[in-house]
A = this chain, B = another copy of it.
């Protein structure tokens, strides 16, 4: 029976049972964290062999010294192969692709994208598929870019909405996580990717930030397939519209990985011009270490299977609790992702914040409710991002069950008024 079908008496009885279970959890003095997409220690241990790499000779170049602005050739090739693009369209970045995205938006803000610098305009707007990644929103907020929510469908952002909104010339761009989106784990369908590649925005300097953070981060043998947007863009003469980024943050180490930016010849030239003022090179020893450790793109893909083996049981245990506790109540829905780092849970409108509070009181930290929306405002107060990667399975088992109880309690409360 769904909650909405219950009588007041039935709801009160349900509440009483749930409170009992909740208090039992609370009495255990838990301290569990499902807030951020951090790899677990066992995942980090998969890559410690990288520190056995001690030589510093990359094709005759001493990576310890100055030089090579855009990355050592072997590392550009590795990322090019992995992402299906030519090495000349790759710039190797610092340890975080977040920095590449921030710096690129900053470049548009100070110097434009072959256009008027955005800082000289009265208003700049960005489209944000929601729910989405809070750090994309933080970049927009930092530069005073007005964010417009765009709903996500099961195959990517709602393109009908987007095609309308881009008729406004002050709409200058859009953040996308096209594979295993953060937080839903949705991969954009071929049709959506094609429609994005075909867009004709009013703004000539419209930029899609294609944050391919989970490009090879499958949980199952058969991962989702994402079209390579750079294969499609030329058909629409839109090569300059997309800036793609990725990194090894969740392949080797979040704190000490390597990032990469992929862009058209024009954009690469513009970015290198700025980069030449900003640095002499990023850390080339770390680039070299990664190349030596993996060998080639297949080496990286093989490595990802070890991550999947660790992560899959963690996702499964959370999904099991969601199914068992919430499957037939009509108060929650979620997407069963084939990869990525998150499970996105949508609860009855007006119940997400309360769920977060209840969890916190009982010792379970979730991603701040609202953080998956621009300005931290979830208009329906319904989305909860679950990050199952960091806690060990036994802790997740407890945390996920407790989360479900909190969702049910919050919804019962709401229905009782």
Interface residues of A (CB under 8 A from B): 36, 38-39, 41, 44, 47-48, 51, 54, 56, 62-68, 94-96, 98-99, 102-103, 106, 109-110, 117, 119-120, 135, 138-139, 141-143, 249, 253-256, 274, 276-286
CB distance B278 to A255 under 8 Å? Answer: no
CB-based nearest B residue for A53: B51
Assuming A253-B64, A256-B64, is B38 touching A282 (CB within 8 A)?
no
Measured in the bound complex, the distance between the Cα atoms of B281 and A36 in whole Å is 15
Q: How near does chain B come to A375, taking the closest CB pair, in angstroms?
A: 14
Contact sample, A vs B, 22 pairs, CB 8 Å cutoff: A63-B255, A64-B255, A64-B256, A65-B254, A65-B255, A67-B255, A68-B255, A95-B279, A95-B282, A95-B283, A98-B280, A102-B279, A109-B110, A110-B119, A119-B120, A142-B274, A254-B280, A255-B281, A256-B283, A256-B284, A256-B285, A283-B283
Least CB distance, A316 to chain B, in whole angstroms: 23
**Structural contact, B98 and A254, CB atoms closer than 8 A:** no
The smallest C-beta distance from A226 to any residue of chain B, in angstroms, reads 24
Closest 6 interchain pairs by CB?
A: A256-B285, A142-B277, A64-B253, A102-B278, A255-B284, A66-B254
**Cβ–Cβ < 8 Å partners of A99 in chain B:** 278-279
| A102-B66 Cα distance, complex, nearest whole Å | 18
Q: Give the one of A142, A281, A284 with max B CB within 10 A.
A: A142
Docked complex Cα distance between A47 and B285 (Å) = 13
A117-B119, A280-B98 known; A253-B285 Cβ under 8 A: yes
Given contacts A119-B110, A283-B95, contact A278 B65 (CB under 8 A): no
Question: A66 to B255, Cβ gap below 8 A?
Answer: yes
| Distance in angstroms between the alpha carbons of A143 and B95 in the assembled complex | 25
Q: Which chain B residues lie closer than 8 Å to A274 at the CB level?
A: 142
Please determine whether A38 and B65 come into contact, CB atoms closer than 8 angstroms.
yes
Complex contact B139–A277 (CB within 8 A): yes
Contacts of A56 in B (CB 8 A): 44, 48
Residues B54 and A279 in contact, CB atoms below 8 Å apart: no
- Which B residues lie within 8 Å of A249 (CB)? 66
Using A63-B255, A284-B256, A285-B253 as known contacts, say yes or no to A277 and B54 having CB atoms under 8 A apart: no
Beta-carbon contact of A44 and B62 below 8 Å: yes
Are A41 and B54 touching (Cβ within 8 A)? no
A256→B289 CA distance, assembly (Å): 11
Copies of this chain: 2
- Asked if B103 contacts A278 (CB within 8 A), the reply is yes
A66 to B120, CA, bound (A): 35
Least CB separation from A257: chain B residue: B283
CB–CB A65/B39 < 8 A:
yes
- Please state if A143 and B94 are interface contacts (CB–CB under 8 Å): no
Complex contacts, A255 vs chain B, CB 8 Å = 63-68, 281, 283-285
CB of A334, distance to nearest CB on chain B (Å): 24
Which residues of B have CB within 8 Å of A41?
A: 62
B54 near A48 (CB under 8 angstroms)? yes
Measured in the bound complex, the distance between the Cα atoms of B255 and A68 in whole Å is: 9
A407 to B317, CA, bound (A): 77
In the assembled complex, which residues on chain B have CB atoms less than 8 Å from the CB atom of A119?
Answer: 110, 117, 119-120
| Closest Cβ–Cβ distance, residue A260 to chain B (whole Å) | 15
Best-surrounded residue of A65, A106, A280 (most CB of chain B within 10 A): A65
- A392 to nearest B CB, angstroms? 15
A168 CA / B383 CA spacing, docked (Å): 53
Tell me whether A98 and B278 are in contact (CB under 8 A): yes
CB distance from A273 to the nearest CB of B (A): 8
Measured between alpha carbons, how far is A283 from B47 in the docked complex, in Å? Answer: 15
Known: A64-B255, A255-B283. 14 other contacts (CB 8 A): A38-B65, A41-B62, A48-B56, A63-B256, A64-B253, A64-B254, A66-B255, A95-B281, A96-B280, A98-B278, A98-B279, A102-B277, A106-B106, A256-B285
Nearest to A66 among chain B residues (CB) is: B254
